Structure 1
Amino acid sequence: MPSIAGTTIVQAKQAEDASVRAALTSDQCFGAGSMDPARDCTSATFPVLSPDPALAPQDQPDIYFTDPPCFTTGSTIVSCSFGDPDSPTRIALIGDSHAAQWQPALRALAEEHHWDLQLYLKTNCAFTEVERTEQYDACATWTAGVQKKLAAEKPMGLVITSFFAENLDLEVDKGAVSTAAAIAGFQSAWKPIVARGGTVLALRDTPHMTDGTTVCVATEGTSSSCDVARAAATARPDLQYDAAAGMDGALRTDLTDKFCTPDVCKAVIGGVAVHTDPYHMTKTYSKTLTGPLYDALRAAVHGHQVQPAIAAAFR
């Protein structure tokens, strides 16, 4: 059993580190800020990593810990809203946990710009109408439910969607789903949104690290040995991202350069532990992507025919 004195010392050190971490968030080179070529971050140093690498697997979006949760594991349609519910700028985030990981950044944008942000999230499900293997039967029911919910509400101006691309790609590899059917399935799901005057934006899936990435950061810190070759981390195609290239009313954006240099995808960026596991980013890193995500959405929307409220939001 630890001594009272020892416990007090540990608690004092944890409080000190928490204070340091809070102060670091205002550094222009913190997190994704260090990937901005316009900023001189070559000499930036960070006395501690954020979050504590030992706790990185728990540094997930708050929506997982609400009561009730802001996502579903079944076929029940669960939705949550952030920002201004009376705003004419109506934006939805739809998908699985790979969509959910962008919620901290999107919530910050919704609150800053007074958007009406709606979330429709289900574990392991892409927003698609392609016929998949039996294990995804509940996803088809969920997608149909989301479609019904969207049709009953005031039209969304912009629907942002993302998913764990590897799941569907593995089905393609096994011959259970063809690439053409996968792409058609996404486009079929998007057509009702576009028909109501909305725009769909596919957000490319984030790079995939290794099973040992978070442990490596916890033990090795900022060592480059925790990084993964970009070619390996981005090897799997994102068929949803590909589908957006071939459909009117659909756009796409790719923030891979905020996770990777030309050669490697980083485990630590700007003093921030990037990953909770091989496939998801920490809430801390997501928050640092607030500005870059806005810029990426603005660039994607610019020059395309979108609802006036969406055009005004990204002017």
Structure 2
Amino acid sequence: MPDQGTAPTSVNDNEIEASVRANRYARSVLDPANSPELVRKRYLANAGQYFFRDRDNALAFEDKGARIATRTEDPVVAASMVEVAVAKGWKELKVTGSESFRRSVWLEAAKRGMAVRGYEPKPQDELHLQEMKAQSPRTVSVHQLGPERARAFTEQTQGEALKIYPELHKAYVGRASIYQWIDTNIPDPKKQAELRVAIDRGMAERIAKGEIPSVVVLPDPKVVAPGQVNAIHKQAIVMGAVARARGQSPKSVRIVIAAAERFGQYLSEKGVWIPEPMIYDRYASLRTKPSLTSEEPEKPEIRRQPKIQVRR
């Protein structure tokens, strides 16, 4: 007997999606190369479509970004769809489709500690779930997956971490791109090390929350005129001084200076000339009659010719 409040659906409507609003990464199509190892061994994948390796390479299921859909009620396919959902960072699922499909999704998701909307489990389902947990006690809960990924990202080598969590590939590529920018734009080695530590800490925090930081693509470096480099730097220092005078914290001042330098470099690359800053000190003493200093050249003496007298 179908669940109350659930409209009957056809087998073509077997779908799962995140029951809560997912971030942009979670709504995008998962790169098949970043899918779990078991899924990669079980299917041939391309552009979000997963095909059986047997069964004449028929389509098993499809990752459509915000939804994962299938036309089969195979419980193995349902389990694979949940695996992909976990890799996408989904923590709660909404399932639609036939009762058999919804039950399979609920069993696999509940085994991982995920909440599921769209299926009300029966007592025998609960018993089956307990049996599955007893048979595979090492199954990582979806709420533990983020911290486990973050621990692998920070404590293991890249090769070791990718063997367990291949979906971290994008995070490593993104970090390498940021490191490249730091090496190119920050000359101070001490500052480079501090920024790398901050980047690692920030990425680990995002991974622990279930996110996979996206790849950062750096534009091709462009040559800035030497005179412009100094002008951009001076303008950024002036902006930092203004922020400091307004009571901003030292961290905010550093952010303002870095942003001003990036913006100045961007304008210079677009052909905009950055002038040297002109600083006005309102506390400086006024000079009513400026006198010539030793460094200033004296005005040349003007010699006038005598007036010519006309003879009559």
TM-score (norm 1): 0.24
More helix by share: 2
When Rg is computed on C-alpha atoms for both structures, the one with the higher figure is 2
